[in-house]
Chain A
Amino acid sequence: MREFGYQRVFDVPDALAFGADPEARYLGGGTNLVDLMKTGVDRPALLVDVRELPLDRIEATDSGGLRIGATVTNSDLAAHPEVRRRYPALAQAVLAGASGQLRNMATVGGNLLQRTRCGYFTDSSQPCNKRIPGSGCPAIKGEHRNHAILGASEHCVAVHPSDMSVALAAFDAVVHYETADGPGELPLAEFYLPVGDTPHLETALPSGALITGITLPPAPVAADSRYRKVRERASYAFAIGSVAAALDVRDGAVREVRLAFGAVASRPWRAREAERVLTGGPATPHAFADAADTELAAAEVLPHNRYKVALVRNLVVAMLTELAEEAAR
């Protein structure tokens, strides 16, 4: 591991002053960053420890949503009564990720910024366009069982590993940040950049920006939401496919639906095409399947990740069918 400086900060201006160094990284729980430093994938010269910034609260907003501070731990997010009541899929998504130990350490800000677990990205002896731009993507002809089927490019087919972000995408979360030039915000839909030919550029955050929190707009439909994650063992593994779903049905018709997919793209995949074709139509398994097919028509599969299309389709149909049946009771 490269030697590095360490600076603990207690207010945002200090964090930004130290974070302006292009070789600095903000340190939250360290559950991903320290790991990447040990394996030589990331080599910062300075760690700016932001855990003691006053950004550890979850508060109701005036409009009826929630504001979640960037240093709130995954554990506290998932245990919070208002998160569990208003956005149960978000609590479920966070609980589906990592282990109890890691959720106690990991923060919301760090969760948004975690890096892909693609085996070529995390192995610094391998080429990887995300790690070394222009070096190539061995995954496309190599091990890509858990790689992207949507929105990828010939330069990178890695998936974003966060469960939390999938639920945030379904609920139109907004990411708030601070820079030396003042605050800014990005809707989650614009937070992660398209892959294109620049897979090393992952977010639209300005250089040196510090994520300060997330807001969730009010979403009554989210009260009837859930997150389901498929993985290769029962617990403590990354997703091979996941879905966050929320459904509001009246008289057999879909009034509102939210769908986002995980482990299928370089970012959480909001399924807007599926939502569009469902809204106003019948809440039947047939319609749910048609909607999933519409969204997944854009899928571009590789030899070993073709299974994800059926996996996600089946998840969508099962989850929306369950939600519709519960609404009918």
Chain B
Amino acid sequence: MASTSGKPSKTSQKDKISSETPQSMANPKKAAQDSFKDVASNTIDTNGDARSSGSDNTSTKHLEVPEIAAEDQFDFLVGLLTGSQQEEIEEIKEKIDDLPLFVDRLSEALPEAIIKRGDDRLMIQAFTPVVQKTLDAATQGDPDEFARRLLPSIRRSIRMIVEETVDKVVTQLNYSLEHSLNIRWRIEALQSGRPFSEVVLAHTLKYRVEQVLLIHKETGLLLNQVNHEEGSSEDGDLISSMLSAIQSFIQDSFKVGNQSQLENVRMGDFELFIEQEKDVVIAAAVRGVPTADLEHVLEDATNYLQLVFDKELKSFDGDTSVFEDTEDTLRACLKSDFEVPSKKPNPILIAALSALGLFIVLSLGFNIYRGQQWRGYINTLKSEAGIMVTQENRRGGRYEISGLRDSYAKDPTELLKLHNINPQKVTAKWEGYAATDPILLEQRLKATLKAPATALISVDSNRNVIFKGYACENWSSIALTLTRMLPGVNQVDTSAFESVQCN
């Protein structure tokens, strides 16, 4: 390589070459070699002059002309012409030729370049087959390893799908239960002769994409179609062409230009959503009022198909078989949404349930209250002298009671009133018996013996009968005999009693 040290200024060299230009046109290399000789000899002359006169400042530059072979003289001249740029060129060349260095440089720029053009369709188009082939190789090479790496994300996805499916099933079940009992809809189905399911659908369907058509924009030909119902519609070809015709008609008739595109066609609750890309159109026939995300779904599908099938769309010659792979994308557009059973409770239902709850609570409370009343009554009876309860029962708001009752004991019916129990609801069976209670014993003695006013009869707590005062002998003997025979009497005390003769 020619040395650039001590070379003359670029300006002088360029000027020199410029003056040689006509000659160089015929044989550039020879012309350059001649120029080189001229430059060299001229420079030597200049130096010689400088040395002899010593008055020219340019003489301070000293150029040593190396001895250069004739075949290298052209390269030397090029070196003189490009000057310091040659060094830069050499550096760049070195960087490119040095593969490891080039790879290093590229690796620094590559991520940024990909980020910058990440949304570029060409970039995606370029990467798609590479990624697909990489995945193919990975799955074919070591499927287990591939599966192991995917497992964490797949597991999460599966869980989400299962949860979503279960949720849907439960919702659907609730929905079915809720609506299967709808009498009004059953009547409507009977009257109209339509299946009940269809009537339910008409009332609960928010929207459903019935059919999706993939249309080649230029020709209006149908490339593929999917339907909500199984089996394909033969009319897809005609519909897609008619849509294309309608668009052309509108563009021509109203001079809206090719930039304006048919977007939606609506009739009643039926709407045709049309998403257009450069070469492809997706038309979705929708029944009902769709949610806003449907348009995004259609837009994404259209963009995606344009991107992936860009080449096929542009070179479309009527062969639709290449578009069979679009089915999954189109099928993803077959969205639907049903009225989900309201999670907000029905106010009427709430009121009814509340009333029922209140009724149950009140019934229970009342029942407990009645039970306590009855229990109180029974306890009162049990504590009363001369009454023995042998059996009692409370059922369905009615009462039954049976037992033994001394005729001198309190009346059980009267006691019912104390406990606010309706006597009409009580069936009572009382058998008579003579109680040995001192009080009742005393009452019975007094009633039986009919003592004169001069004689007093009392019974103490030990059922000892005490006679006091005096009475005729006839009465006294009978009274004392009867008293001693009376059941329950323990002893008869006559110490304070005197029996007197009466006429």
Q: Do A and B come from one complex?
A: no
